[in-house]
Amino acid sequence: MEHIIMENESYQPSEMAELDLGSLAEDQIPEGHKSGIVAVAGRPNVGKSTLMNAYLRQKIAIVSPRPQTTRSRQLGILTEPDYQIIFVDTPGLIKPRHKLDEYMVAAADDSIRDADMILWLVDASEPVGAGDEFIAGTLRGLIDETPIILAMNKNDLLAPDEVIERSDSYHALLPGAEWILISAANGNGLDQLLQMIVNALEEGPRFYPADQTTDSFVRDIAAELIREQIFLKMRDELPYGTAVAVDEFKERENGIIYIKATVFVERENHKKIMIGAKGSQLRSIGAAARQEIEELIEQKVYLDLWVKVVPNWRRDDAALKRLGYAG
């Protein structure tokens, strides 16, 4: 197993962010307060993670131009005085090719069926495709009992003469849903969409403290930030055959957060590519990931990256369980 260490001496540590899992006192909840679970569903790479990060004003879900970046359900909590929205960023709905895909589709399907409302995100810059029709078929069976909003994303990439035809074609897939054109990347329509979501929710309590933005542990988010950089920097299919596990996450006496993480790949030649000449590729991934983690926890990080081969882990139930992709 090969490894490389990424360290930064450039700025001073501060308090490490911790998630408060307590609950708020009932008298802090105003009358008429609304709450609910909103499943963000759609094909891979339509902007689900970008949308959720925009509403939370911080990075909770990782983002890359490649489809299927999100593998597990990612929860983001948006709390305002009169409402609390629990967004669930789901993996893109796809036709499974192996056990990892089966896990991803099951996670997305469970999140959709357990939600108080569904936000269906589509890429309005592209014509309706088979994947959109497949998702619409699933949602038609839920619309009578679950409010659904169709958000047509990336409207900034639409030519003016395409807007009416494209929006009509998507709305025709699910005529009973409310719909809106938005751009998660530049903020167009996000305020209006948020109000539509709040209007669709019922009155209810706060399920999380007002300052909590996710239920994920910091070490799990750190692993995802490392995997994000693999998607951004590696080519072809290699990123899809990788997984990241954080083995150690602890604060040392000097205030530096030490993180030991393992990048799993499926083949020996993938390991060589991941490491690169004289460790250059892994060093580049580690430097970028360390910067993202430091911004997240506002503390100096010492990142110790390793690479290990686990043949065909995406098709191995035991390996998927060890990596947290199956119960």
| Domain containing residue 261: CATH number | 3.30.300.20
pLDDT for 188 equals 94
What would the pLDDT profile of 179-234 be if each residue is shown by its tens digit?
Answer: 999 999 999 999 999 999 999 999 999 988 888 887 666 777 888 889 889 988 88
- Of 67-81, 235-249, 263-277, least confident by mean pLDDT is 67-81
190 & 43 share domain: yes
Q: Are residues 30 and 9 in the same domain?
A: no
Residues with Cβ within 8 Å of 309's Cβ and at least 6 positions away in sequence, in order, are: 264, 265, 266, 267, 268, 270, 271
Q: Are residues 97 and 141 in the same domain?
A: yes
Number of domains in the chain: 2
Is residue 208 included in any domain, yes or no? no
Q: DSSP letters of 8-20? A: --SS---PPP---
- Tell me the residue range of the domain where 304 lies: 2-13+217-322
Residues 259, 310 share a domain: yes
pLDDT, one tens digit per residue, over 250-307 is: 888 888 989 999 999 999 999 999 999 999 999 999 999 999 889 877 789 999 999 9
My answer on whether 47 and 91 are in the same domain is yes
Assess whether 114 and 35 both reside in one domain: yes
**CA–CA distance, 178 with 137 (Å, rounded to integer):** 16
Say if 212 falls within a structural domain: no
Residue 196 lies in a domain: yes
Short-list 95, 91, 88, 57, CA closest to 74: 88
Residues 142 and 241 in one domain: no
Classify residue 125: in a domain, yes or no. Answer: yes
Burial of 187 per CB tally in 10 Å (0-12, 13-18, 19+): exposed
- Same structural domain, 39 and 186: yes
Question: Which of these three, 159, 175, 203, is where a domain ends?
Answer: 203
Which pLDDT tens digit goes with each residue over 131-160?
899 889 889 988 888 999 999 999 999 999
Average pLDDT, stretch 45-68?
71
Residue 35 domain flag: yes
